[in-house]
Amino acid sequence: GDSVTQMEGPVTLSEEAFLTINCTYTATGYPSLFWYVQYPGEGLQLLLKATKADDKGSNKGFEATYRKETTSFHLEKGSVQVSDSAVYFCALTSNSGGSNYKLTFGKGTLLTVNP
Amino acid sequence: NAGVMQNPRHLVRRRGQEARLRCSPMKGHSHVYWYRQLPEEGLKFMVYLQKENIIDESGMPKERFSAEFPKEGPSILRIQQVVRGDSAAYFCASSRGLAGDGETQYFGPGTRLLVL
């Protein structure tokens, strides 16, 4: 079945540091890939997405590139801020089987950014 | 522009009791999805509902769990005779159209269920 493996946390960085959170996936067909972010006490919010190979999703300074050859969708940001402290989830939907509404999530990575 | 609302945010039940989790989708959204996050696990799909219809319940445990989305009112996830293994965070999401057709799923803050 479909699965997502993402970097174990927690990750602790200083403000303005470079961020990478690794994400790899296993899926049938041609999945769409997502990063969701959950700020303390809130629901998950879509951060960015990519729907086909070599697409780059970007938002709020974050970006991730859909790499089919390595089945990866790593999240990066050049300079993190304290306000980026949150839990980040990598996820996919698979377009095989007619149930492309089902999100399959990784376990989440807690990021803490210190001033 | 209220987002997806879930209540209660925290729920404590003793083994054998019933748990009712409520989800009010965003205004104008008629598609609701429930996910469960067990400790140390990612969110896992449970069920997809449209108004008055269960579309896909392939992720629901076969016993004790049920879900509904009536014509009026919130979607309800009901767990009968709870056991300790039901302790988890339950997230609801909604979308205007069918997610997967370019529609984004918007998530609520979740309900944390603790079974003593």
Q: Region A30-35: what's the mean pLDDT?
A: 91
Q: What share of chain B is helix, strand, coil (3-state, %, to 5)?
A: 5, 50, 45
Residue A30: band (very low, low, confident or very high) from pLDDT cuts 50, 70, 90: confident
Out of A43, A89, A103, name the one closest to residue B45 (CB): A103
Q: What pLDDT does residue B104 have?
A: 84
Spatial contact of B111 and B8, defined as CB atoms under 8 Å apart? yes
Q: What pLDDT does residue A42 have?
A: 82
Question: Tens of pLDDT along A87-113?
Answer: 999 999 887 666 788 899 999 999 999
Task: Tell me: pLDDT of A12 over 60.
Answer: yes
Q: What pLDDT does residue A86 have?
A: 96
Return all residues near B73 (Cβ < 8 A) that are at least 6 apart.
none
Question: Tens of pLDDT along B33-58?
Answer: 999 998 878 899 999 999 889 999 99
* CA–CA gap between residue B25 and residue A51 (Å, rounded): 25
Tokens of A33: 């890939």
Return all residues near B24 (Cβ < 8 A) that are at least 6 apart.
B4, B5, B6, B74, B75
- Contact assignment for B41 to A107 by CB distance below 8 Å: yes
Q: Is the CA virtual torsion B54, B66, B28, B36 positive or negative?
A: negative
Question: Tens of pLDDT along B59-108?
Answer: 999 999 999 999 889 999 999 999 999 999 999 999 988 776 667 899 99
Of the ranges A5-9, A50-54, B81-85, the best mean pLDDT one: B81-85
Interface test with B, best of A3, A44, A87, A107 (most B CBs within 10 A): A44
Alpha-carbon separation of residue B109 from A39, A77, B37 (angstroms) = 10, 25, 12
Mean pLDDT is lowest, of A7-11, A22-26, A40-44, for A40-44
